Amino acid sequence: MVSSITDLITGIVGNFFTFVQLMDATVRMAIPLLLACLAGLFSERAGIFDIGLEGKMLAAAFLSAAISFTTGSVWIGLLAGIGASMLLSLIHGVASITFRGNQLISGVAINFLAAGLTVVIAQGWFGQGGRTPSLTGAQRMPEVDLPGAFTRIREMRDASPGMQFYSEFISGHTVLVYVGLLCVPLSWWVLYRTRFGLRLRAVGENPAAVDTAGISVVRLRFAAIVICGVLCGIAGAYLSTAVQAGFTKDMTANRGFIALAALIFAKWRPWHALGACLLFGLFFAIDNRFQNIQLSAFWVIVFLVAASALMMNYARKNERIDVLVLGGISAIFVTIAVSVWISQIGDGVGAIGALWETVKLPTQLIQSLPYILTVVAVAGFVGKAIPPRAGGEPYVKER
């Protein structure tokens, strides 16, 4: 009896530690998304749509890794990455604010520019096929071990659940993780509790009224894109000096676009942005830590069919484009569910028995989860998201 209780407690503690590890990975994967999402939040609240988040993160990731390797200091690399991102932000500002160009085209151009230049410069600089050498020691972002926290996995596994949570989830992150989390309440305070934030939001809604009050619309919008550049720079530096040990081609992996989807998901609000980015980060964490997931075919089919039913029930009440997009995703889900069921029917296993056979989820399906959620969010499954009214429109001062 005692042995059974001990085994039960050991199993619960072990499963809890796995859960804590998953949550820890979720936070780590969510930070670059969160920083980019908050960057887009400031920019779009001021009326500047920024598709170029991806390019700014990519440029920052490259330059921070390159400078960190060259100088041996990750902090100098961080400043260099922020500088690269701010330069691209200013280019976007000049194109869309000063010359009143199309904001979407300017953002796309920045993405192309960063994707090409990072590889060309990296090849010319290091000659390693468009990547930087691996970062070690002081070239990488250090982790912060809080007082009393365990640092070895073996010690954490044998510790109490509370100590596991403290040592794995609270402690052991890099400085940029804590900075990213602190940016959420700071962004909320700036936008909703300061005069600057009030004016910034007003510029995104009615720039003419702000101009009439004698406040410079151009100055406020440039301030917003500078903040955007700083946050994207930190996000890119985090990817190359903390998540990975160096820069590789297209290492941002469309995180800038996912951050824009999270921004829509959050309806341009800081705290909601944190929740949305953690959800996307969870899928990235599952991909990183649990690529060989095995479940009963019954539960796989139930999940896919239920998700399809929810999407179709929502889509039929909305516009035709919602029906087409969400209907297409639902059809794919149902097709996968039927394929899973049929694939389990073999010799000696009937149609009912096949439902209880173990299925290994395809790695490609797990990897595609963040992008599927991106499509669902953009399609409006989270409800109607209304952007700032003056977003995307250049302001022409009345004479």
What would the pLDDT profile of 98-148 be if each residue is shown by its tens digit? 998 889 899 999 999 999 999 999 999 988 888 899 999 889 998 888 887
Predicted local confidence at residue 165, as pLDDT: 79
What is the pLDDT confidence band of residue 285, given thresholds at 50, 70 and 90? confident
Q: Higher confidence at residue 342 or residue 117? A: 117
What does the pLDDT read at residue 399? 59
Q: What was the pLDDT predicted at 8?
A: 36
Instruction: Locate all alpha helices (DSSP H) within the chain, ordered by sequence.
Output: 2-45, 53-71, 74-93, 103-126, 153-158, 161-164, 175-193, 195-205, 207-212, 217-238, 255-265, 270-289, 297-315, 320-344, 363-378
pLDDT digit string (tens) for 51-106?
999 999 999 999 999 999 999 999 999 999 999 999 999 999 999 999 988 898 99
pLDDT number for residue 95: 92
Cα–Cα distance, 324 to 304 (Å, whole number): 18
**Domain residue extents for the chain:** 2-293, 296-360
**What are the tens digits of pLDDT across the range 234-252?**
999 999 999 898 999 989 9
Closest CA to 230 of 397, 13, 53: 53
Percentage of the chain lying above the pLDDT 70 cut: 80
CA-based radius of gyration for the chain? 24
Do 289 and 42 touch, CB atoms closer than 8 A? no
pLDDT at 396: 74
88: Cα within 13 Å, side-chain hemisphere: 35
| 184-198 pLDDT tens trace | 999 999 999 999 999
pLDDT for residue 115: 92
Q: For residue 310, is pLDDT > 60?
A: yes
What integer pLDDT is reported at residue 398 of this predicted model? 66
CATH class of the domain defined by 2-293: mainly alpha
Q: Is the pLDDT of residue 10 over 50?
A: no
The structure's pTM equals 0.83
Q: What is the pLDDT of residue 15?
A: 66
The β-bridge relationship of strands 173-174 and 143-144 is antiparallel
Which of the four pLDDT bands, split at 50, 70 and 90, describes residue 328? confident
Kindly report the average pLDDT of the chain as a whole number: 82
Check whether 265 has a pLDDT greater than 60. yes
Flag whether pLDDT at 224 surpasses 80. yes
Residues 6+ apart with CB under 8 A from 314: 322, 326, 381
Residue 209 amino acid letter: A
